[in-house]
A and B are shown apart, each in its own frame.
Chain A
């Protein structure tokens, strides 16, 4: 009789490794999923494959060279790195930047945010299995890439900023302004069509809503940054505090749920805001020179600079000795978001785990530098 009561459920726990080279991931990383039946119980994300030691080789480089080296940290947000690195030097050496140069930098920064968000959406659609969306978005993205090539001369790594302003190559003449205006009109129309299609597609919505959700409290605890944080409902955008963005009017978009749907919609809704900023910048573009060359190199203390980039908060710091860079530190938004990626996987089905990582917009080329991630997702993490 006793035997009848002894029904034991046997839990099969398996480890599902993904990577380092995997078809769903554009970049090499290793994801270990600890699975009970079909549900992910724990996740571990390991990076380190593309560690190149950029901060170490920056040590002792002339400031101008070091600035252009920071651009090579990342091929998606390259302009943000060189922009922030130049800002760091300008802050320390007290260089005034001509207003026209500030506006051109903002136009480049917003174009970069557009292409980064469109890439995120295309990659996300591909991972969730909707290739048509992905193709459409790649097609829309080409408009932005062509505009970047027109202004900077290269589709990726355009290197617009130099210390004291922007390169002469990036001057905006009437033809370029005309093309920018046309491009923005086209983009606004197309992204509107896409958003309409996206929210009305019942298949896609049922695939993404409620999955990989991060609550407000979790986001605070995990020190999430950028659009992933705003998708949970916390209204934090460093652009509100940056003096460069003071003349511009734009809304900070937030969502409530923090799941994959909120994250995807977040990026869709941020695109019109970027278009709005670019339009204002074109309309009020100040006259004058674009480079301030009257400055002198001097020794400084450690200089720190934060800006908002497509993925969140970017931090650069170094000090200048004899015109050379010392004690360089770069902290990219994806480093802080790694814990969120691991946390978002927990509790999802194994098929959704990859999507839960992708929802945080990972960029591991940025991340793989001198920092080794040892924090456990449930441990309290100190915000820097």
Chain B
């Protein structure tokens, strides 16, 4: 076991990136990691806003064209091995903004997250439930821990 995987097994840092959703998923994820009821910090899962110390990237929202390039840059900045979790209906399939429209479809949406960066786990729900967020992050962990 290398030093990195040793340290990683003891503390997983989650970075939350918000790409233009409605805020619902965002608050639920912060709630799930910070708030005393769900408290993922007791399982050594920490929230960070620095891509260089992150292990798991949680993306919410349908990725508007403005954040397409920044999202790629953030993904590149995270050191290997890394895993991306797409949280919520918007991140997994574009949500209402991409799929429901009247006369004109929305021209602002660059598509679901998997069209921009590779996704390891998807969490369904609008908005995601904190229980699902925990299981989604846990599902992405083997990718990190088994990497060399």
Contact = CB atoms under 8 A, between A and B. Distances in A.
Interface string B86-100: 000000000111001
Contacts of A139: 35-37
Interface stretch (A3-11, A33-41, A67-75, A238-246): A67-75
Contacts of A53: 97, 106-108
Interface string A1-42: 000000000000000000011110011100000000000000
Contacts of B17: 21
Contacts of A135: 34-36
A75 B25 contact: yes
B49 A74 contact: no
Contact of B22 (A58, A78, A141): A78
Contacts of A368: 20
Interface string B37-72: 100000000000100000000000110101100100
A155 B28 contact: yes
B66 to A, nearest CB: 5
A230 interface: no
B128 to A, nearest CB: 9
Contacts of A22: 49
A57 interface: yes
A138 B33 CA distance: 11
B9 interface: no
Contacts of A72: 22, 95-97, 126
B5 interface: no
Given A135-B36, A142-B37, A52 B20 contact: yes
A23 B127 contact: no
A329 to B, nearest CB: 15
Q: Is the interface of A mostly helix, strand, loop or mixed?
A: loop
Contacts of B67: 20, 28, 49-50
Interface in A314-349: 324-325
B79 interface: no
Given A59-B104, A142-B37, A155 B23 contact: no
A50 B105 contact: no
Contacts of A20: 67, 70
Contacts of B106: 52-53, 56-57
Contact of B104 (A57, A134, A155, A325): A57
A129 to B, nearest CB: 15
Nearest to A49: B66
A75 B102 contact: no
A75 B18 contact: no
Given A49-B66, A363-B23, A154 B35 contact: no
A233 interface: no
Contact of B61 (A50, A69, A73): A50
A104 B46 CA distance: 39
Interface of A: 20-23, 26-28, 48-54, 56-61, 65-66, 69, 72-76, 78, 119, 134-135, 138-139, 141-142, 154-157, 324-325, 363, 365, 368
21 contacts: A21-B70, A21-B74, A22-B49, A28-B20, A51-B20, A52-B20, A52-B64, A57-B101, A57-B104, A59-B103, A60-B102, A65-B100, A69-B100, A72-B96, A75-B22, A78-B24, A134-B34, A135-B35, A141-B35, A157-B24, A365-B22
Given A50-B66, A155-B127, A157-B126, 18 more contacts: A21-B49, A21-B70, A26-B23, A28-B20, A48-B66, A51-B64, A52-B62, A57-B106, A60-B104, A72-B22, A72-B126, A75-B25, A76-B24, A76-B27, A119-B27, A134-B34, A139-B35, A365-B22
